[in-house]
Amino acid sequence: MEGEERRLAASLTARYSEWVLEELDELRGSFLLTDPAMPGHPIVYASRGLASLTGYPRRELLGRNARLFQGAATDRAAVSGVREAVRTQRAHQVAILNYRRDGSPHWVLLHLAPVFHAADGRVLHFLAVQVPIAAAPRRHPGRPAAFAACREEARGEEELPCASHVGEVFVDIDKRGMETRRRLEAEEPRIASVCDKEMALSTANKIFSTLNRYSKLTGLVVCERRCDSVGIPALSSSLNLSLGRIKQSFVLTDRHLPDMPIVYASDAFLSLTGYSREEILGCNCRFLNGPGTSAEVLEEINQHICLEEACTVHLLNYRKDGSTFRDLLHVSPIRNSSGKVAFHVWVHLDESAKHDFSGLTPEVWQLGAVGAVRVAVRSLSASGSLLRPSQ
């Protein structure tokens, strides 16, 4: 058994150094790490918080598949969504009914995220954070909320002029009946709050920060997003130089490549978001999104991109450290000298920060960046020098 534990631990220590286990043990939260390269996709690390939440001793979790938390009432659609996220190697959040070691059900927000090798984009581990979802307060029609929480033995006909409701509130008198009732209530679907989602994301960010820091000791740098720039055309030095003179925060994306990846990021954008250029080149812009980002606004952006139209929206986005910012975002197509869309420019502005717009409105300031990008692209596309010659 000890040999098996050492083998599982080596999945982490060989990639993140011997000290990573102690550092992970210091982190608060309920989480686990699995290794998709090992037979059965086993759990190779379980936090103290996970043991406390589920009732499973950590040694009992290691080596087992994470499906052991599922049970009879676990929603199959939720399970399928998790499996699809694992198959496609992408992050995923879902509210799911799990079961503790003693068989009791409980709702959690499951935050699943792959851990990528920064150099070649391979998935090394999957991180799964579990945040308990509290039950909504139960109220009974026609009775004050305080009465619903009272014990039957403390309430009698003499004390409450509402004896006709006693059977309605205290339906289950014996211990077995109460246990059945609690179990049925626990199996009622629950919705994760924004606070739950923020907590899951914050915990995941701390874990990724730890893994990234210790992975550098072994020379194997990891990241939470596959940002593999292999196959992404490199912009010419002339275009990079022209774009580098633009001081606003923006990125260029190429709609003609799979998943519309970022092919250029300005220094101001890196300063705003906290990411390095190497981390985001080749990524889709969705890496800025989080639990509070409006899906409706994202759909609006996609529609304008498909129609090759510009749009300006207000969006809640997330920095690398998990903090949020109110983003005044302008997205516009950039056409080459022949009139075809070569890129899309995304100009970001933190609405809560102080800016010197030199007497201009924020929107006009952003349009200035769009105009500068447009001039650089059109002038260089006419000479055929948008990409490096080797491309």
What pLDDT tens digit does each residue of the chain (391 aa) get?
567 788 898 999 988 888 999 999 999 999 999 999 888 899 999 999 999 999 999 999 999 999 999 999 999 999 999 999 898 888 899 999 999 999 999 999 999 999 988 766 788 999 999 999 998 765 555 554 443 443 333 333 333 333 333 333 333 334 445 555 555 555 688 899 989 998 998 899 899 989 988 888 887 777 776 655 555 667 777 888 889 999 899 999 998 887 788 999 999 999 999 988 877 888 889 889 888 899 899 999 999 999 999 999 999 999 988 899 999 999 999 998 888 999 999 999 999 888 877 778 889 989 999 999 999 898 887 655 566 544 4
Domains of the chain with bracketed CATH: 1-135+190-223 (3.30.450.20), 237-381 (3.30.450.20)
Three-class DSSP category at 55: coil
SS3 state at 310:
coil
Contact at 8 Å (CB) between 354 and 362? no
Q: Please provide the distance, in angstroms rounded to a whole number, between the alpha carbons at the two ends of the chain.
A: 53
pLDDT attached to residue 34? 96
pLDDT of residue 168: 34
* The amino acid at 86: V
Global pTM? 0.55
Residues 342 and 38: their CA atoms lie apart, in Å, by: 43
The pLDDT, as a whole number, for residue 366 is 92
- Give pLDDT, residue 223: 73
Task: Tell me the CA distances in angstroms from 75 to 27, 34, 101, 323, one per residue in order.
Answer: 30, 22, 19, 32
> In this structure, how many other beta carbons lie within 10 angstroms of the beta carbon of residue 274?
13
- The answer to whether 272 and 247 have CB atoms below 8 angstroms apart is no
